[in-house]
Structure 1
């Protein structure tokens, strides 16, 4: 238990460096970007859109995330002549409330279908996916289940199964009252204190459902079905997703490329935005 407490304390300290820049990004990059809602699969999904390029790119946020909180530097600085960039809020997150967020065992599959159907509703004939953390899992599932619609795939901070080590990490972030105020406060402004706390608890319960499945399976069975060119980026100092997850995905997605960022943490696309954006643009072209 002492070891668990020490690990949880470390994870919480590192969590500050993951969450805080997410919220700062929203204030910094909100100007020439279209925001709207559209009905998809019975819910009204919020999205932001910028750029006028022929290559459509969808940005998929992480747990408790939204387009504006998670992808400010990408919305601002990805090449808008080459790409049309869409950042969405999955149902129950960001401004896609109602409904409240829930976590049935198929919530990743539901998000994948919502994401693809959103882009089809917006009249894009095909799309590339950039998925962070939970959004990376959603992107993997979408690429596997809708292969003819997905051009290319970039993921970082994603995992295809849940281990004992992951469970310890998740329990370490379960109670938002133990987060620092500067980390917690902006999300409380976005969601309200009660919704934030309850949704985080529900997310932990939701992700731990998979640990009870054979091999902790989330989407490992789908990885061989991903046929599009795939770039996996991993921060070697990521406190939330150990390196072995990136290695596993790389091994089982045929032809994928693994790029390691030695100083990268979970929020590497925010902390090292210029390096990340260049890497992604070079891959997508």
Structure 2
């Protein structure tokens, strides 16, 4: 089954969603300044057993693009607005990068709505998490669009994989975004801080990270696993920020086993 439409958020703005497959609902949450295309390369891995639900963050894709303050808490409310619109009471939630930050708030603010939680290449916030270096921040801030894309690709994928996969790539941001919306997304992600509330997460949690991720350093995986009850971290050797794509033959089965209650951790 497939469905494309929009839900109305609490403040009246439209949030576009895309639903495919059948089975247990699985919400897939994309990274900062990206729309649902972030998941295109791996979404099919989940559709034999899951009803996958993606969405376009406000400011991206087919969602409304208000020029106002965005936050990871607010994005979490948008996720639940989509679930409410679809009549889904309980879902599994898998968020990567900024989507992982939003997923934390979904599980914290709406504990009865999340059955199982997967947090990928993400962090609890800068007060207790590990941030990318100032060198990376400065390079991304100085570069033109082509230069930023080259830097981001190096942060996302290994050189060998890039040499064999010339693109296009779905993780470099929504090219239709307006400048103000990109800025709003950056501030929302940078201002994320869920440390105090993380112990309130009730859902069993799997944390995934690439061992060679310096965009969101891999040390965040252990920090989250120690802070969230009933959580386990799995770090994938050799992987960078887009571990879920380049290493999908490792990552997707880990997620599917976890969601099926079939994974035994050691």
Deviation, structure 1 residue 219: 0.6
Q: Do the aligned partners of 1:170 and 1:204 also contact (CA within 8 Å) in 2?
A: no
Q: Do the aligned partners of 2:111 and 2:202 also contact (CA within 8 Å) in 1?
A: yes
1:224 paired residue number: 199
Residues in 2 aligned to 1:199 and 1:235: alpha-carbon distance in whole angstroms: 28
1:191 paired residue number: 176
CA distance 1:182–1:112, change in 2 (3 Å): closer
Q: Deviations over 1:191-221 (max 9, x none)?
A: 16xx2x444444444444x4xxxxxx71111
2:156 paired residue number: none
Deviation, structure 1 residue 60: 0.6
1:15 paired residue number: none
Q: TM-score, normalised by structure 1?
A: 0.75
Q: Do the aligned partners of 2:94 and 2:119 also contact (CA within 8 Å) in 1?
A: yes
Q: Do the aligned partners of 1:67 and 1:87 also contact (CA within 8 Å) in 2?
A: yes
Q: Do the aligned partners of 1:60 and 1:139 also contact (CA within 8 Å) in 2?
A: yes
Deviation, structure 1 residue 178: 5.4
Unaligned ranges ≥5, structure 1: 1-31, 211-216
Q: Do the aligned partners of 2:32 and 2:189 also contact (CA within 8 Å) in 1?
A: no
Q: Which contiguous aligned blocks of 4+ residues in structure 1 show a shift greater than 6 angstroms? A: 184-189
1:46 aligns with 2:46: no
Residues in 1 aligned to 2:247 and 2:175: alpha-carbon distance in whole angstroms: 25
1:122 aligns with 2:92: no
Residues in 2 aligned to 1:200 and 1:40: alpha-carbon distance in whole angstroms: 20
Residues in 1 aligned to 2:176 and 2:254: alpha-carbon distance in whole angstroms: 33
CA distance 1:112–1:181, change in 2 (3 Å): closer
Residues in 1 aligned to 2:64 and 2:225: alpha-carbon distance in whole angstroms: 34
1:95 aligns with 2:62: yes
SS at match of 1:85: strand
CA distance 1:111–1:52, change in 2 (3 Å): same
1:74 aligns with 2:42: yes
Q: TM-score, normalised by structure 2?
A: 0.80
Q: Do the aligned partners of 1:40 and 1:121 also contact (CA within 8 Å) in 2?
A: no
Q: Which moved more, 1:34-43 or 1:265-274?
A: 34-43
Report the number of matched residues.
238
Deviation, structure 1 residue 162: 1.3
In the alignment, which of 111, 125, 144 is matched to residue 108 of structure 2? 144
Q: Deviations over 1:154-188 (max 9, x none)?
A: 01111112168536243432345154386599868
Unaligned ranges ≥5, structure 2: 153-167, 261-266
* 1:48-67 equivalent positions in 2, closer than 5 A: 48-53=18-23, 55-67=24-36
Q: Do the aligned partners of 2:77 and 2:106 also contact (CA within 8 Å) in 1?
A: yes
Q: Is the helix fraction higher in 1 or 2?
A: 1
Deviation, structure 1 residue 33: 4.9
